[in-house]
Chains A and B, each alone.
Chain A
Amino acid sequence: QVQLVQSGAEVKRPGASVNISCKTSGYTFTTYYLHWVRQVPGQGPEWMGEISPSVGTTSYAQKFQGRVTMTRDTSTTTVYMALSSLRAEDTAVYYCVRILTGSGDTGQFDHWGQGTLVTVSS
Chain B
Amino acid sequence: DIQMTQSPSSLSASVGDRVTITCRASQSVSRYLNWYQQKAGNAPKLLIFGASSLQGGVPSRFSGSGSGTDFTLTISSLQREDFATYYCQQSYSTFTFGGGTKVEIK
Contacts and interface: CB of A to CB of B under 8 A. Distances in A.
Interface of A: 35, 37, 43-47, 61, 95, 100, 104-110, 112-115
A109 B94 contact: no
9 contacts: A44-B98, A47-B95, A47-B96, A106-B32, A106-B33, A108-B46, A108-B55, A109-B89, A112-B45
A44 B38 CA distance: 10
B33 to A, nearest CB: 8
Interface string B79-106: 0000000010101001111111000000
Nearest to B51: A106
Contacts of A109: 34, 36, 44, 46, 89
Contact of B43 (A107, A108, A114): A114
Contact of B91 (A45, A107, A113, A115): A107
Contacts, number: 58
Interface residues of B, number: 24
Contact of B95 (A100, A107, A110, A115): A107
B34 A106 contact: yes
Contacts of A45: 44, 87, 89, 97
Contact of A106 (B36, B49, B87, B100): B49
Interface of B: 31-34, 36, 43-46, 49-51, 53, 55, 87, 89, 91, 94-100
B41 to A, nearest CB: 9
A97 to B, nearest CB: 8
A95 B95 CA distance: 14
The 7 tightest CB contacts between A and B, nearest first, are A107-B91, A108-B49, A112-B43, A47-B95, A106-B50, A44-B97, A108-B34
A44 B87 contact: yes
